[in-house]
Amino acid sequence: MKNLLIIISILLISSCQTPLDKLKLNQDIQEIYNLALENTTGSDTLVRYDLRLPPEPPNNDEILSLEKKLLKKSQDSLKKILIDAELFVVVNHKIETLSSSDLAVIQEIITSPKNILTNQLLGDNSFNEAIKELCNNNLISDTIETAKLRTKFNYKIYTDRAFPKDKIRHIGTVRFSKVGFSRNKNKAAVYTSFMCGVRCGSGQILLFENVNKKWTHVKTWDLWIS
């Protein structure tokens, strides 16, 4: 009977703490997603010219002068559009799980005696817990509250459910995984993929640390680039 009362007491205490814990966890996740978005897409000033402009006309005799002028005119026209255009990023509303090939690479690296990531972090292996949790594909599937996403850069955020069909202003599409935390919840890892064209994209794990009650981006671990 005494043991039963102890168990009931523990359950009651846990149930009282759960709403606050869940609220704090949701706030942390939202802050991490915001930072992950910024560090995945980069500044809008970088993409205004680099991603959407056609290449400079080749400087050789094979291209007629008229064709060169047309190419240059097209490039100048796009520059004018992009200077003031409202660029946008599309965020997939569904949580993405890591592929089996990515999981195999990650597991091999973080369990290796010569852990490349630990070396890059100057011997700090405290992120391994968060990365291992991130690799747990048993995490319940969920969706992202795209309406709560914020960025310091000058572009708009749309969900993949509804966005303008405008290839010029579309920076790219971002997908997020669940956030993996360390046991003490002061380290976090999230996988993001960024598709900016048919042959343009990247997949990376972003590492974050909570210092003085504020999440900061520590490092980006690139898994693939195309």
- pLDDT, tens digit (0-9, with 9 covering 90-100), for 62-74: 556 777 777 777 7
What strands, in cross-sheet order, belong to the sheet with 214-225? 156-159, 88-91, 170-181, 187-197, 200-211, 214-225
pLDDT above 60 (res 45):
yes
The 8 Å CB, 24+ separation contacts for 193-199 are 193/96, 194/40, 194/41, 196/47, 196/51, 196/171, 196/172, 197/51, 197/172, 199/226
CA–CA distance, 118 with 124 (Å, rounded to integer): 5
β-strand pairing of 88-91 with 170-181: parallel
CA–CA distance, 37 with 218 (Å, rounded to integer): 14
Q: How far is CA 91 from the centre of its chain?
A: 10
> What string of DSSP letters covers 191-214?
EEEEEEETTEEEEEEEEEEEETTE
Confidence band (pLDDT; 50, 70, 90) for 12? very low
Q: What is the pLDDT of residues 64-116, one digit of tens each?
A: 677 777 777 777 776 666 666 788 999 999 988 888 888 887 877 777 766 65
Q: How many Cβ atoms are within 10 Å of 205's Cβ, its own excluded?
A: 25
Q: What is the pLDDT of residues 181-205, one digit of tens each?
A: 999 999 999 999 999 877 788 989 9
CA–CA distance, 206 with 48 (Å, rounded to integer): 24
> Which ranges in the chain belong to alpha helices (H)?
2-41, 44-50, 65-84, 100-111, 116-120, 128-134
- Enumerate the β-bridge partners of residue 214: 211
Report the amino acid identity of residue 219: K
pLDDT of the residue at 123:
63
